[in-house]
Amino acid sequence: MALKGNKTQVTDLAGRTLMPGFIDAHGHISQYGFALQMIDLQPEPYGKVMSIPQLQKVLKDYIAENKIPAGTMIVGNGYDDAIMEEHRHPTAQELDEVSSVNPIYIEHTSGHMGVANSLLLKNMNITYDTPNPVGGIIGKDPATKQLTGKMQENANINSLQYVITQLPKPAESDKYKSLLAAEKAWFAGGQTTICEGRAAPDNIDNIMDADKKGLLKGDYIIMPDYDLNADKLTHWKQFYKKYNGHIKIGGIKMTFDGSPQGKSAWLTKPYLVPPEGEKQGFRGQPIYSTEAAYKGLKAIFQQGMQVHIHCNGDAAIDEGLNLLERLKKEKLLTKDMRCVLIHSQVCRKDQVPRYKQIGIMPSWFPTHVYLWGDWHRSNVLGEERARRISPLKEGLDQEIPFTIHHDSPVTPPDLITAVYAAVNRKTRSGYILGPEFRISPYEALKAITINAAWQWGEEKEKGTLEKDKRADLVILDKNPVKVDPFAIKDIRVMETYKDGVQVYKK
């Protein structure tokens, strides 16, 4: 109470737990806001779609209940072939059964792929003879010479960009509605610093415009997508590492591969069961050639900016480590850039020490163990590789700083579940996957506070409760360090404060 002044408000926490505001190390707030406008196709525990017939029914019911006219674009989000009982993606023909007069696109929970119905494929001028875009795959069935409807990586991105052009533009009064709804979800998750982890130019403009109008309350760290901003690096440099209002550019994002649960991550050894349409021995594929990836990284480093590289598979991690090591030798990569390999999921034992040797850090995604650990064991990687998903304890033992993240909308913007997964490594079925890689609740909490502040270069302002640091606070109903570890995911955020102002109360 030594710091109490005339305007100090004293609150009795009544046994609740006060912590520094959580810091989002990697998420996609604009994409989450967009997902809020789509038809929810998530499976349990976040939704109810557990089969393809259920998915079809949800879409049909939406069209009927909302009296959607023919020709209107229908968009769904969050279906998960790993959890649905068929363990496969829906097809264009199955979406045609929902509607042949409405174009339909459904996005996979990973955000790396989706499925279009036949009308949408026709509208996008995609045929069986259409070549794959660079870094993408258009799903085709060689047996029938038909399109499957599945769009992967850059084919998915191209499809989404087309879909967006077909949606009605919001009225000026609603322009920021989805962004502000998403911000509320981040605050409800105890997060006061928010990441826009792969930003298209229109996402950046929308966030900046909202801030100029005084609508935003959180701090936003934006990572422009390299492919969509390669000609704007000099422009974004002026906003790098310094806030203008509530916004700063944290660096540039590159994406080297896809997702393991969607079987598009780039591996050194084959998938246990190849995805539909692929032969035994399939290992995924890179988004870039090695030289194209090197050229992009070099351009970013020549601007003196941090880079976050999406690397899920161990082949993608090899590529990231090798290129960063090369650029370090060329004196373009310096340790103070604090570069990050995002996800770093299928991480081999020999790769872990290289993070420290090169002077970079991983941001791991332990919620994968909880949601998709069973799928990784049985269908994607097999036991040996699956148990190493996000090997946090190995990083801790080797004194490698790391963060953990939720990658929302891949999962909800919920870091408490990420902490739960890091501590327990318990799958949906109750199996403990890789118990040797579990970490303590305290170390997991550091990964979303102290370490996350360091990742963003904000350790002097955020991450701990100290004099002269920002009054970014979260109040929890229970203490994550003291409860039974398996009860951590049931902890609730009660209040969130940004710069001393309450922005959420349960």
Run of H or E residues at 483: none
- Tell which residue, 370, 373, 307, 314, has the closest CA to residue 334: 307
- Read out DSSP for 215-232? ---SEEEEEEBHHHHGGG
Spatial neighbors of 68 by CB under 8 A, at least 6 apart, are: 62, 74, 102
Instruction: Collect the ranges in the chain with pLDDT lower than 50.
Output: none
For residue 7, what pLDDT is reported? 73
> Angle 415-424/367-375 helices, nearest 10 degrees?
60
Residues 153, 140 contacting (CB under 8 angstroms): no
pLDDT digits (tens, 9 = 90+) for 430-467: 999 999 999 999 999 999 999 999 999 999 999 999 99
Cα–Cα distances (Å) from 195 to 24, 48, 155, 222, 370, in that order, read 6, 28, 25, 6, 23
Could you tell me the sign of the dihedral formed by the alpha carbons of 57, 58, 59, 63, in that order? positive
Spatial neighbors of 156 by CB under 8 A, at least 6 apart, are: 107, 108, 112, 113, 114, 136
Distance, in Å, from the CA atom of 3 to the CA atom of 366, rounded to the nearest integer, reads 39
For residue 85, what pLDDT is reported? 96
Could you tell me the two tokens for 241?
A: 């590492």
Distance, in Å, from the CA atom of 236 to the CA atom of 476, rounded to the nearest integer, reads 37
Bond from prior residue into 366 cis (ω within 30 degrees of 0): no
For residue 358, what pLDDT is reported? 98
Residues 406, 366 contacting (CB under 8 angstroms): no
pLDDT digits (tens, 9 = 90+) for 483-501: 999 999 999 999 999 999 9
- Tell which residue, 153, 152, 165, has the closest CA to residue 73: 165
- Read out DSSP for 400-464? ---EE--TTTTS-S-HHHHHHHHHH-B-TTS-B--GGG---HHHHHHTTTHHHHHHTT-TTTSSS
Does the pTM exceed 0.85? Answer: yes
> Angle 177-188/201-212 helices, nearest 10 degrees?
80
CB count, 10 Å around CB of 51?
13
For residue 169, what pLDDT is reported? 86
pLDDT digits (tens, 9 = 90+) for 25-38: 999 999 999 999 99
For residue 16, what pLDDT is reported? 97
The counts of H helices and E strands in the chain are 18, 19
Residue holding tokens 């809020």? 36
Spatial neighbors of 270 by CB under 8 A, at least 6 apart, are: 280, 281, 282, 283
Distance, in Å, from the CA atom of 102 to the CA atom of 73, rounded to the nearest integer, reads 6
Domain 21-28+178-269+280-450 in this protein, CATH class: alpha beta
Distance, in Å, from the CA atom of 319 to the CA atom of 325, rounded to the nearest integer, reads 10
Query: What are the phi and psi torsion angles at 361 (to 5°)?
Result: -135, 155
**Domains in the chain: boundaries:** 21-28+178-269+280-450, 51-166
Indicate the DSSP class of residue 54: H
Could you tell me the two tokens for 420?
A: 């739960």
Query: What are the phi and psi torsion angles at 140 (to 5°)?
Result: -135, 145
pLDDT digits (tens, 9 = 90+) for 396-433: 999 999 999 999 999 999 999 999 999 999 999 999 99
Distance, in Å, from the CA atom of 336 to the CA atom of 412, rounded to the nearest integer, reads 31
CATH fold for the domain made of 51-166: Diaminopimelate Epimerase; Chain A, domain 1 (3.10.310)
> Nearest 5 degrees, angle CA 241-CA 33-CA 159?
100
Bond from prior residue into 409 cis (ω within 30 degrees of 0): yes
